Structure formats: C-alpha cells, structure tokens
Structure 1
Amino acid sequence: MKNTKVYVDFITEKLKKLLSIDSPTGYTKDAIAWLKAEYEAMGYAPVITTKGGLLVQLAKGCEGNGGVLVETHTDTLGGMVAEVKGNGRLRLTALGGMNPNNAETENCVVITRDGKRYEGCFQMNNPSIHVNGSYDQQDRTYDNMEVVLDEMVFSKEETKALGIETGDIVCFETRTRITEKGYIKSRFLDDKLSVAILLGYAKYLKEENVTLSRPVYQHITVYEEVGHGGSASVPEGVTDILSVDMGCVGDGLECKEHQVSICVKDSGGPYSYDFTGELIAAAKANGIDYAADVYPHYGSDVEATLRGGADARHALIGAGVYASHGYERSHVDGVKNTLELLAAYLDK
C-alpha cells in the first residue's frame, strides 16, 4: 500500500471530528449526514438507507466476480431518559451496553425532542462522601444513579418546564485525546475508529487510482449496539461480508492496541474458516502485524447480516482496542495495520 502514513493521518483527523458528533444508537442522523458529505466530497455516491445507515459502492469490479461488503457502525453507547424524578434529576436507561460503572461522574448532554441541549453529570444518588457513609458499598446501577442537570431545577415540574421528558437522548462526553506516542484514547472508539479507517480506505482508492477486481461496498450501520445494525441492505451479488469493528484486548487474548485483530470465533460462533484463513494469509504475505483471537463476549454486524438471511462468507477484523465499552484506547499502529490488511485483501 502506498503512502500509508498520509492515510493514517487523514484517518485520525476524521476520527476526531466524527467522535465530536454525538450518535448513540437510535440517534445517528447527524453522524450519517456528515459521513455522507465526506464520501460525496471524495467523488462517491452514498445512499442513506431507510433504516438510517449509509451504503456506498467504492468499485464496480469485473463482471462475474462476487462482491465484497465491508461493514462498520457509527452508533455508539449512550443513554435515554427513563424518568424525570421528583427531585428534578433524571433516571436513565442504557442505549446499548453502556455500563453505569464506567459512566459514573461523566459529563453528559441531554438532547430534547425540539433540539435543545442541556449539560449535566451522571452521578450516583447522594454522591458526597462527606454525607453518604455507604458510598463505597452502594451498587452502581441505573436505579441508583442519576443525571444532575446544570440547571436551577429542584423538582419534576421545573425540569419538565425545560422541555425534558422521557425518551430524550443522553450523550456522554468522549474525552478524545491522541498522544505524542500515538495512543488514541476516547469513549466510543467502538466503532468510530473503524468508520474513520473505512473513510481512509475510500480516500486511498480515489487518490491512488486503485482498480479493484471485485465490486466493493461499504455499509455504515446504525443499530449495531442493539444487535440488528447489519441485518439488511446487502447489495445483489455480494458473496463476502467483512465486519470491521474493534479488536478485543484483554486477558487470554494475544492482540495489542498496535495490531490488527482477526477474530476466528466470538459468542455467535466461528467465522468463515476459509475467509479468515485468507485474511491471515494476506497479513503474513504483506508483513502486517496481526493477532488471531477468540472473543468471549462479542457479536458483530456481519452475524446480524447472516441472521437476516444473507448467503455469504463472513469475517471480522479490527484495530486492537483496550478497555472496550469504557474509556477505550487504541494506537495509530493498529490503525495502520487494519488499513493495510483491508488493502491487502481487497486490492488483490
């Protein structure tokens, strides 16, 4: 792959912008609109699906060759107002797997149906250590925690007068930072890091005038965090479907943040043995730093696609991400290796 650093730099810049656009699952229209404009600026013709995702054809390929659909998701974890409490604070319900332990003391924004935005902080009920003698023993659950609004409200009626009601979206601060050593730290790298990588690959195809032998599509899904993001919108003729999502880093796994992970099995079962083998072979042939791993608690878009009835081979890769569903960390080398594996497999 030519000029890899140029495209890695492009990816990190687009990642920062995408992370700044709130898109918890079910509230992704702003992120999708931005992505649509990005693809159009590169000369592609993306289409917003009825479900709200984004489908773009990158290459037509040669007649008779089976197509490849590459999937990733821009929906993230988040919250929704489940109750405006009597004290004017908000009880939440999770959007996706947002763990309240990981969200404690995080700043957030409440977005109302009419577009108003109110800042607040997600705190345990009665969070002052100088007042609450049971602070350490109290379970961190959505029933025991609340959003404290940065507004002069002390009753249900005062909060509702702001226009806040059940069903409003709650977005958590990302705290995005890219360090001098190349570490990428932020909430919601799952899976906006992969979306940025797909943008980088699309840019690479255009700028390097790469001709692909197969039709190649990208699908940016919007309901992956609740299990049905990739369940539809498979173009005709697709025979291989590749999910690009975060690679897991943790005990019992080989992958590090600097590598691209190739998942051989997760909680949904094994991925296509042949397809996975081709990805491993491509990594080896091109000197790409990779790890093959089994993810114990994981599901991906491509599994939803197969459950939706697609007759295709399936596989999963992604840059290594530490502390998934928390304050996540990856590295620019993981981005580089994932981008190079995409190119090594798709450019053949």
Structure 2
Amino acid sequence: MISIAREYMTDFLMKLLATPSPSGFCERIASVVEDEAATLGYKTERTPKGGVIVTVPGKRGDILGISAHVDTLGGMVRAIKPNGMIRFTPIGGYMMQSVENEYCRIHTRDGREYEGTVLPVKPSVHVYGDARDMKREEANMEIRIDEIVASKTDTLALGISVGDFISWDPRTRRLENGYIKSRHLDDKAGVAAVFGLLQGLSVSGRLPERTLKIVISVYEEVGHGASYIPSDIRELIAVDMGAMGDDLSGTEKDVSICAKDSSGPYDYGMTSKLIELAKRERISYAVDVYPQYGSDASAALRGGSNIRAALIGPVVHASHGMERTHVQAIAGTASLLAAYAMQA
C-alpha cells in the first residue's frame, strides 16, 4: 500500500479553496491543477470543455478512470438595478438562504474583481416589518457592491456587466482537531484526495496496476461535467462528496461508498470491491443511497459512455451550504483509491 500524506492533501486543499471556480469560470483553477500535476511528474491535457486529464502510466495498458470536479456553486450577474445593486442568477443548486449575508466577488470579463455582499431586498428588520417573512428566492435577493455606486450607470462604469461571474467567499477554517469547514468542499476535498493518491504514487515510484486517467471536470455542478470522458476508459470511479443526515449512516470521518443516487444504482461489482477493500484496509466507510444527488459518473453514463461506474468520497456535512468534513475522510478516500488502483 502506498503512503498517503495528510499534510500534503490538506495544504493542496487550502490552495484549491482559495481559488474561485464557479462552474464555467475555471481557467485559473485548471491551471492550478495542471501545475500541481506537473510538479508531481505527470502529464496533463486540456479537454475542449476546459477540464484537465492527468495520465499515470500503469503496469498494464488498460485504463482505470478516476474523476473529480473543481467547479463550485456560484452566481452570475443577471441584471443591474436602477439603484446600482446587482440581481444575480444561481450557478448550481443551493438554497438561497445559504448565501444570504455572504461575502462574494464579482469577476468582470476584463479581469477586474469587486467585493460585494448578498442581501435580501429588505435587509433590515429596523426598517421593514416583513423582512423576516419575505421568501428567500432569486427575485428577492441582490448584491450590494462595495464601491461608491448609487445608480446603474455607476455600476456599469466599474466594468460590471450582465454575464459576469460571481464567487462566494469560502470562509475556510482548518482546525487542529482535523475538521475542515468551508464552502466548496464539494468537490475540492475530493480533488485533494485524488491528488493524495497521485502524490503517494509519485513519491513511492510505484506503478498502479492499470494506467490511470484522472478526469478533473469543470461543469459538474450544472450537470454535464464528465459527460465526455476518453473512450478508452472502461471503469470510472467518481470521487465526490458524500452526503450526511436523515437516514444516512455516514459521518464526517467516513468515506462514502454510494450504492445508488438519482441516476440509478452504481456497478455492483465495483461497489462490492470497494467495500471489500475498505474492510481489508480498515478504512472507516459507510454505504449510503442519495436519492437527490448526481455525479460525474452519472453524467458520463448519460452522455453515452459504455462503462462500469462507482462513486466514493469524503462525507461532508451541510452540503451546498456551510460545509464541514474531517481530514480522516479525505485521507480514507485517497487510501481507498490507492487500494483499488494497486489491485491486480
């Protein structure tokens, strides 16, 4: 078994979390991924959609695919209001309440960035008697820009336009007890686990049993991240966050092995092998079913890929909100990937 370096993974996770990457605005973070893969000694290529594929030569020529996504939830400027405020449209599926009072950045197409805050259109209980009761939906939310603006003309003069991307402040905290809380652990924690595998292989000098093609996608949060994968992939493990709550059994220290999500059941043989390996390696895991969830593997299957597919990842609390996981879950995910990749 290759060694998994927790400090390396968490350091790289911090770098990923600090890089804005709402779906469709991922050039910067794709470069971060490429640079890190090159540092570890691996070749990369860009897909036409802007994703990154990292190739790791194996003992055999047949291909095992592993996917994870660096794109996150975010927003886009939908309109500029007469008072200079921004109306935004969501990117990805989240409760509007989860971004109320959140700090954000507006990214203009000419490279400028401005800070702002997401607020309801009635932001003060001292002024509006119905402020508490107003429904939190797109039409009732706006962004206050931290610049001197009082009109649409003022905001346009900053270079802000309809179609500009908006990223949420991740508010990342790395705690001494191993907890990591932040927005966008979905799926940057999964990407960190994949790179934990890559770093372990690089340092050990060992080859995986099969050649690996690591697919880092950039449109997963809007449903078509890995709808294209290289045609020589026959098995694909999607690495994405595991959900927590209700009748689910996973905790923030566990690796989630998803048996079924909204796209249907995952491959019986692959899922069974992952459970067997988790038991053998004494990795803390939970098998769960996510009826309101889809993954890059779902997108690949719906895109017509003739593959077997499975889904694993670190369990994350409060997904698509203020998320939290534990370094044990990230390291466990990397270890389970390593066990699968190194099996004969």
Q: Same fold (TM over 0.5)?
A: yes
How do residues 3-14 of structure 1 correspond to structure 2 at under 5 angstroms? 3-4=3-4, 7-14=5-12
In the alignment, residue 28 of structure 1 is paired with which amino acid?
C
Q: Which amino acid aligns with 2:46?
A: I
2:206 is aligned to 210
1:329 and 2:324 equivalent? yes
The TM-score with structure 1 as length reference comes to 0.97
- Aligned-partner Cα distance in 1 for 2:95–2:170: 15
Deviation at 1:187, TM superposition (A): 0.2
Q: So what's the TM-score if we normalise by structure 2?
A: 0.98
1:146 maps to a residue whose letter is E
Please name the residue that 2:43 is paired with.
Answer: 45
- Asked if structure 2 preserves the Cα contact closer than 8 Å seen for 1:57 and 1:217, the reply is yes
Does the 8 Å contact 1:257/1:329 carry over to 2?
yes
Amino acid paired to 1:247: G
4+ long deviations beyond 4 Å: none
Match of 2:267 in 1: 272
Query: What's the offset of the Cα at 1:123?
Result: 0.4
Residue 178 of structure 1, CA deviation:
1.0
The answer to whether the Cα contact below 8 Å between 1:49 and 1:233 also exists between their aligned partners in 2 is no
1:139-163 deviation digits (Å, cap 9, x = unpaired): 1111101000111111111111111
CA distance in 1, matches of 2:281, 2:155: 58
Residues 97 and 325, structure 1, Cα contact 8 Å, conserved in 2: yes
1:177, CA displacement in angstroms?
0.5
Q: Does 1:340 align with 2:335?
A: yes
Cross-structure match for 2:300: 305
Cα distance, 1:59 vs structure 2: 2.0
Shift of 1:269: 0.6
Is residue 247–residue 261 contact of structure 1 (8 Å, CA) maintained in 2?
A: yes
Alignment length, in residue pairs? Answer: 343
Q: Give the match for residue 71 of structure 2.
A: 75
> What is aligned with 2:57?
59
Once the two structures are superposed, residues 79-101 of structure 1 have per-residue CA deviations (whole angstroms, 9 ceiling, x without a partner) of: 00000001100000001113311
Structure 2 portions without partners, runs of 5+: none
- Equivalents in 2 of 1:304, 1:116: separation in Å? 33
Q: Is the 8 A contact 1:210 1:347 kept in 2?
A: no
What is the CA distance between 1:337 and its match in structure 2? 1.2
Q: For residue 62 of structure 1, report the CA deviation from its aligned partner.
A: 1.4
State how 1:246-285 maps to structure 2 within 5 Å: 246-285=241-280
State the match for 1:182 in structure 2. 178
| Matching of residue 110 in structure 1 with residue 139 in structure 2 | no
- Please state how far the C-alpha of 1:2 moved relative to its aligned partner: 4.4
Aligned residue in 2 for 1:16: 14
SS of match in other structure, 1:283: helix
**What RMSD, in angstroms, separates the aligned Cα atoms of the two structures?**
1.0
Say if 1:79 and 1:98, in contact at 8 Å, map to a contact too. no
User: In structure 1, the residue corresponding to 2:132 is in which secondary structure?
Assistant: helix
The residue aligned with 1:296 is: 291
Whether the 8 Å CA contact 2:229–2:305 is kept in 1: the answer is no
Partners of 1:103 and 1:195 lie apart in 2 by: 24
| Conserved 8 A contact 2:58-2:207 | no
**Which letter maps to 2:81?**
K
The answer to whether the Cα contact below 8 Å between 1:260 and 1:335 also exists between their aligned partners in 2 is yes
Q: CA deviation at 1:235?
A: 4.3
SS at match of 1:55: strand
What SS does the corresponding residue of 1:277 show, helix, strand or coil?
helix
Which structure 2 residues correspond to residues 95-134 of structure 1 after superposition, within 5 A? Answer: 95-134=91-130
